[in-house]
Amino acid sequence: MATKLSTRAILLSLFLGLAVFTGKPVATHGGGTKDAVADKVRKIVATAIQDNPGVGPALIRLLFHDCWVQGCDGSVLLDGSKTEKAAKNNIGLDGFAVIDEIKAKVGEDVSCADIVVLAARDATFIVSRGKIDYNVTMGRMDGVKSSAAAADAVLPPSTFNITQLNANFAAKGFNTRELVALSGAHAVGVAHRSSFQDRLDNATATPIVPKYRKALTDDVEKQKKLQGTQDPIEPNNIRDKELAFRNASGYDDTGVDTSKAARGVLDNSYYHANLQNKVLFRSDWELRNDTTGVAGGVMATFEANANKWFLQFGNAMAKLSKLPAEGTRFEIRKNCRKNN
């Protein structure tokens, strides 16, 4: 209980500090200002994360999965059996209820695409304990098309190698440094077993520390029973596992805060884990295999200097938020889950 109260106290402090966000007011379609809308968004996001810390990583992930597909157009929010929500690469996507709550509060004149961008910005600030703050603008429109096939065609799966990752990011105008920076989001959140099973199966396994592989394999079997599913979730970050798991994996926590209060904090601990080859996804491990040496060098820089990563991650998130919507027909949805 003491830890829970401590976490709530931290979130409350950050919530009170959200007013320090900078940026010039930008007129919305309804004639209000960015500041008025943003204030409502940040309050709802802060409360949602206080009630359920898992909401923060979900909202950060939601931005990438929206903007990477057809640009920032809110298309990931549309319900349907064949929409982006049904894409294989969107397994575990969450945060939709918070978006709905925000939409009900800010009204019909604010686009769902803008809400996703604002919510991700605020979640990043809170989950990073105020270390990552970046500006965004408003004025986006909502797309009317959403396709699972389109999402799976462009979203990088967890099995991509470094060549595929670089090509995928380059297609959106992002370089290797930005790829490595955005990958740092895996310091928080969870992953389904199916997203990293290839790292454990003998036929598909990429090199992985034997102790870590055994500890992870054993824990997955344990979690299948505890969670009542064949596809249980595991924390993305080994930092967030119990001490027994970290010890069994041979994890070196030098320079990493592994206290319970630090669990779920967006920081540079991802790079500490990756440089030890104690990460879930092949796509994370692949950053060590850049033949140019760029990715590995950037990871080492971010591991050694958290402030450099905070700045680069914020810049990359701001850039991600600016990806232009693709298509010929747009609207401002009255309900983020369906077209008008």
Mapping DSSP onto H, E and C, the string for the chain reads CHHHHHHHHHHHHHHHHHHHCCCCCCCCCCCCCHHHHHHHHHHHHHHHHHHCCCHHHHHHHHHHHHHCCCCCCCHHHCCCCCCHHHCHHHCCCCCHHHHHHHHHHHCCCCCHHHHHHHHHHHHHHHHCCCCCCCCCCCCCCEECCCCHHHHHHHCCCCCCCHHHHHHHHHCCCCCHHHHHHHHHHHHCCEEEHHHCHHHCCCCCCCCCCHHHHHHHHHHHHHHHHHHCCCCCEEECCHHHCCHHHHHHHCCCCCCCCCCHHHCCCCCCHHHHHHCCCCCCCHHHHHHHHCCCCHHHHHHHHHHHCHHHHHHHHHHHHHHHCCCCCCCCCEECCCECCECC
- The answer to whether 92 is a known ligand-binding residue is no
Backbone angles phi, psi at 234, to 5 degrees: -130, 150
Residue 19: its pLDDT value, please? 38
**How far apart are the C-alpha atoms of 28 and 30, rounded to whole Å?**
5
Residue 33: its pLDDT value, please? 63
Residue 25: its pLDDT value, please? 37
Q: Do 336 and 100 contact (CB within 8 A), yes or no?
A: yes
Residue 269: its pLDDT value, please? 98
Q: How far, in whole angstroms, is CA 7 from its chain's centroid?
A: 20
- The answer to whether 100 is a known ligand-binding residue is no
Nearest to 236 by CA among 93, 49, 85, 57: 57
**How far apart are the C-alpha atoms of 223 and 167, rounded to whole Å?**
35
- The answer to whether 156 is a known ligand-binding residue is yes
- Catalytic amino acids? 65
The tokens describing 249, both together, are 């994996």
**How far apart are the C-alpha atoms of 45 and 33, rounded to whole Å?**
19
Nearest to 70 by CA among 164, 153, 135, 137: 153
Residue 10: its pLDDT value, please? 43
Compute mean pLDDT per 10 residues along the chain, 340 residues long, and list them: 37 43 39 76 96 97 98 98 96 97 95 98 97 96 97 96 96 98 97 94 86 96 97 97 96 95 96 96 91 91 97 98 95 97
Would you put residue 151 in left (φ > 0), alpha (ψ -120 to 50) or beta? alpha
- Euclidean distance between the first and the last CA atom of the chain, given in angstroms as a whole number: 45
To which residue do tokens 């359920």 refer?
A: 52
Residue 1: its pLDDT value, please? 31
- The answer to whether 207 is a known ligand-binding residue is no
Residue 205: its pLDDT value, please? 79
Residue 204: its pLDDT value, please? 85
Residue 138: its pLDDT value, please? 95
- The answer to whether 84 is a known ligand-binding residue is yes
Give the total residue count for the chain: 340
Q: Which domains does the chain have, with CATH numbers?
A: 2-154+323-331 (1.10.520.10), 173-317 (1.10.420.10)
pLDDT in tens, 126-176: 999 999 999 999 999 999 999 999 999 999 999 999 999 999 999 999 999
